[in-house]
Structure formats: C-alpha cells, structure tokens
Amino acid sequence: MKQFLVQTQMGFMATRGLPLRLMRRSSFSSSSAAKWEGGVSMVQGASRGIGLEFVKQLLEKDEKGHVVATCRNPSGAAGLRDLKDKFAERLSILPLDVTVERTIEESAKSIREQYGSLNLLINASGILSIPDVLQPETTLSKVQKSSLLFAYEVNAVGPILVIKHMWPLLKTGGGSGTERDVAVVANLSARVGSIGDNRLGGWHSYRASKTALNQLTKSISVEFARKKDPIVCILLHPGTVDTDLSMPFQRNVPKDKLFTKEFSAQKLLQIINGVKSCDNGKFFAWDGQEIPW
Ligand SMILES: NC(=O)c1ccc[n+]([C@@H]2O[C@H](COP(=O)([O-])OP(=O)(O)OC[C@H]3O[C@@H](n4cnc5c(N)ncnc54)[C@H](OP(=O)(O)O)[C@@H]3O)[C@@H](O)[C@H]2O)c1
C-alpha cells in the first residue's frame, strides 16, 4: 500500500499536463507491452466472487501472465492476500472504488508506472442487494430514487470510468500465450439487463443499471472501431453463479442452473481468449450464445 502511494506520486509528477491522446502515442510504445511476456490483465472488483476467481484462473492458467487485481479494501481481501502469497511476483493489488474516480485515476497511474500497458481489462464489480440500503424491487411501489441512482452509479457509471482511465494503457498482446491482436475489455453484465429478454419484470434498479452498462459499452465499442483502436469491448453474462450476490435469491434456482465460480470464470475466460475483432460490442452468455439487447 505504502509502495503504491509512492509510485502513484512519482507517476503523477512524470505525466502531469500531457493530454491523454498524446500520452497514448508518446509514453506507451509497443515495447512496453512486449516486456511483460504473457501480458498484463486487470481485474476490477476482485475481492471476492467471480472477480477473485478470474484473478486465480488468470494466474494459474498462464504461468507468465501478470495480473493487477483491484478492490475497495485490499487489506480486507483475504482471498487476494492468499493469492499474493502464492504468486508474489505476478500479482499486484491496488485500491479502487468505482464510485471514487480519484482511486481509478491513481490505479491507472500505478499500472502505467509498473507495467506501461494493459492487454485485458475485466470489470467484475457489481451490486444487486445490500441489507438496509438496496433491495431488488418486486413491485414499482418499492422503487426509490436513491436505489435507482446507487445501482446506476456502481453498475454502469463506475465500469465506464474505469475504461476511460485505462484506455491509454490498453494495448494488443497477452492472452494465455495466444498473443491476441486486440486488447480486450470485458464488462460483467447480466441477462436481466436485456430489454428483449425481459419477461418477468421487477429488479428495476439492477436491471436498468445493467441495461445502461450495455448501452454505454456498445457506444464505447463503436468509438474504438471508428478510431481504429485495436480494442474489443464485450459484455458477459456469467450465468447464475453461487456467490454472495446471488445467495439471497438462490432458493428457486434448479441445482444444475446454479454454477460454481470456477465453472463460470472458466467459460468466460474461454470467450475472452477466443475474442475476435468482429465480436466488438457484443453481449455474450457464459456458453458463448449472443444475448438480445
Ligand atoms: N452471481 C451471479 O449469479 C451473477 C449473475 C449475473 C451477473 N452477475 C454479475 O457478475 C459480477 C460479479 O458478481 P459476483 O456474483 O461475483 O458478486 P459478489 O460476489 O457480490 O462480488 C461483487 C464484487 O463487486 C465489488 N464491488 C461492489 N461495490 C464496489 C465498488 N463501489 N467499487 C469496487 N468494487 C465494488 C465487491 O467488492 P467488496 O468486497 O469491496 O464489496 C466484490 O468484489 C457483477 O457485475 C454481477 O452483477 C453475477
């Protein structure tokens, strides 16, 4: 943590005043990406659940890959600390809260100083329910302005700000030794964010926030394509996965429809590793099927 702060301050001194697009060309040559054989991946929202499992599998499956795991409270993230003990050289842990833009900027500076580039960004953070703060609404009469705005802030605004600040770092390469010819941004969405697929209604705040995440990600994918920036943005539905997020709602889920974190992350990494330029802006389920908007 101490080291991170020092690095951050140094990075600020080094890059202050340069416009983003200029920094893209001047500071991050392709040689910085080549330096990290196996590539550099970032998992945002990595303290637990599917995000933590992504970090674990990225480290285990690619013995040369480096991973930057971010979370709100690194000192409380026991799972990440265990991984750090095992993969000390290849795992960096940085503090990042998607609702505090300064922490996103500081993470970007720290990654720039340490690695110079990123080949993969996974936004895995998300909220569905928080006791006494946020409950998925079963009826319109329970909808509150504060819940709608809170879900939107964490589930839609946050991941987009993360992409904005990591954009200058995103370079081709990496990908479990496959040397992808595009950088990949994968945002964890949810099937319930699909308007076309909405047959049950309810969960207004969560649904709408994921729909917004989908639209924002699609717009970013169009901009990257227009600018011929070799970055592919995809949206992923992990299935119903046995994590803290789904725990209160698992009662009616058939056993064979409730996935383990291991299974879901493995399927999603298969999609990420096989991604092609023509996948830019698409919304995939865990099994590779496209989901209607
Ligand atoms: N599980 C499912 O069945 C399911 C289904 C569809 C979609 N998804 C999506 O998949 C993603 C991962 O879900 P999960 O099941 O792994 O959930 P989870 O176990 O509840 O983990 C959620 C993660 O989000 C982080 N987070 C929450 N607020 C944050 C903030 N302000 N800034 C940074 N990080 C924050 C949490 O960090 P803290 O530890 O600091 O709280 C935690 O690491 C989410 O986007 C979710 O919507 C999950």
Tokens of 174: 């990496």
Spacing, Cα 17 to ligand 1 middle (Å): 34
Confidence of residue 179 (pLDDT cuts 50, 70, 90): low
Position 200 pLDDT exceeds 90 = yes
| pLDDT over 70, % of the chain | 86
pLDDT reading at 70 higher than 80:
yes
With the most atoms of ligand 1 within 8 angstroms of its CB, the residue from 56, 72, 100 to mutate is 72
In the numeric block, which tokens belong to residue 127?
């909220």
What confidence tens digit (pLDDT) does each residue in 229-276 have?
Answer: 999 999 999 999 999 999 999 999 999 999 999 999 999 999 999 999
The structure tokens 């996935």 sit at: 259
**What superfamily does domain 33-285 belong to in CATH?**
NAD(P)-binding Rossmann-like Domain (3.40.50.720)
Residue closest via CA to ligand 1's atom 24 equals 125
Tell me which long-range contacts 189-195 makes (C-beta under 8 A, separation of at least 24): 189/213, 189/214, 189/217, 189/235, 189/236, 189/237, 189/283, 190/126, 190/237, 191/237, 191/285, 191/291, 194/283, 194/291, 194/292, 194/293, 195/293
Q: Does the pLDDT at position 277 exceed 50?
A: yes
List the structure tokens of 236: 């992923």
pLDDT band at 71 (very low <50, low <70, confident <90, very high): very high
pLDDT at residue 92, as a whole number = 98
Per the CB < 8 A criterion, the answer to whether 44 and 50 are in contact is no
pLDDT digits (tens, 9 = 90+) for 99-127: 999 999 999 999 999 999 999 999 999 99
Residue 63 has pLDDT above 70, yes or no: yes
pLDDT tier at 12, thresholds 50, 70, 90: very low
pLDDT above 60 (res 33): no
Share the mean pLDDT of the chain: 88
Which pLDDT score is estimated for 261?
98
Regarding beta strands 40-44 and 240-241, do their DSSP bridges make them parallel or antiparallel, or are they unpaired?
A: unpaired
Report the pLDDT value the prediction gives residue 91, as an integer from 0 to 100: 98
Mutate to test the pocket of ligand 1, among 104, 125, 161 (most ligand atoms within 8 A of CB): 125
Q: How far apart are CA 285 and CA 268, in angstroms?
A: 8
Q: Is the CB of 95 under 6 A from ligand 1?
A: no
